[in-house]
């Protein structure tokens, strides 16, 4: 596992997305100076800000905190789907995009954390149900 600090990870994610500190600070609803202090490890973001960062970049909190080098959040694929169908890389990429877009709508603090988790759970289930129906309808090969 690479030895990156929290600040390094935030800066690298921002640079990969080609956005300025000012743009990211506005998105996170924090000051530019505050973000600069996060990136230089002079200050540690609150748990709420860490979660906003992870949601915005579509990464796991474990990655942000340096506990893993895997950026993608753990995906909850229903057992009945994975037993019946092969889960492709494309399926996972599409799933991550759907979840990322859904989370972007919930970035403000008007929606409680518990409600956000429930919504993501429902969206996850709907996504995999729709995938299964499409594979049935369009005759995709079943898992062998």
Question: What's the CATH class of domain 6-64?
Answer: mainly alpha
- Phi, psi angles (nearest 5°) of residue 56: -60, -45
pLDDT for res 73: 62
CA distance 44 to 63: 16
In the chain, domain spans? 6-64, 79-137
Q: Given the structure tokens 């429930």, which residue do they identify?
A: 118
DSSP type of residue 140: P
pLDDT for res 142: 55
Give me the average pLDDT of each 10-residue run along the chain (144 residues): 80 93 94 96 93 85 80 71 79 81 71 77 87 80 54
Q: At what angle do helices 6-16 and 32-39 cross, to 10 degrees?
A: 120
Locate the DSSP E strands across the chain.
Answer: none
Helices and strands, counts by H and E, the chain = 8, 0
CA distance 13 to 141: 37
pTM here is 0.55
- Length of the chain in terms of residues written: 144
pLDDT for res 20: 95
């Amino acid at each position: 596992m690479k030895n990156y600090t929290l600040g390094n990870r935030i800066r690298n994610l921002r640079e990969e997305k080609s956005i300025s500190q000012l743009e990211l600070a506005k998105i996170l609803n924090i000051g530019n100076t505050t973000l600069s202090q996060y990136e230089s490890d002079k200050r540690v973001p609150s748990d709420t800000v860490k979660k906003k960062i992870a949601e915005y970049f579509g990464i796991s909190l474990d990655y942000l905190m340096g506990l893993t080098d895997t950026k993608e959040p753990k995906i909850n694929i229903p057992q009945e789907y994975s037993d019946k169908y092969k889960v492709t890389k494309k399926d996972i990429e599409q799933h991550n995009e759907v979840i990322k877009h859904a989370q972007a709508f919930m970035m403000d603090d008007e929606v409680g954390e518990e409600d956000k988790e429930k919504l993501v759970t429902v969206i996850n289930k709907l996504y995999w149900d729709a995938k299964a129906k499409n594979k049935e309808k369009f005759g995709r090969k079943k898992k062998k």
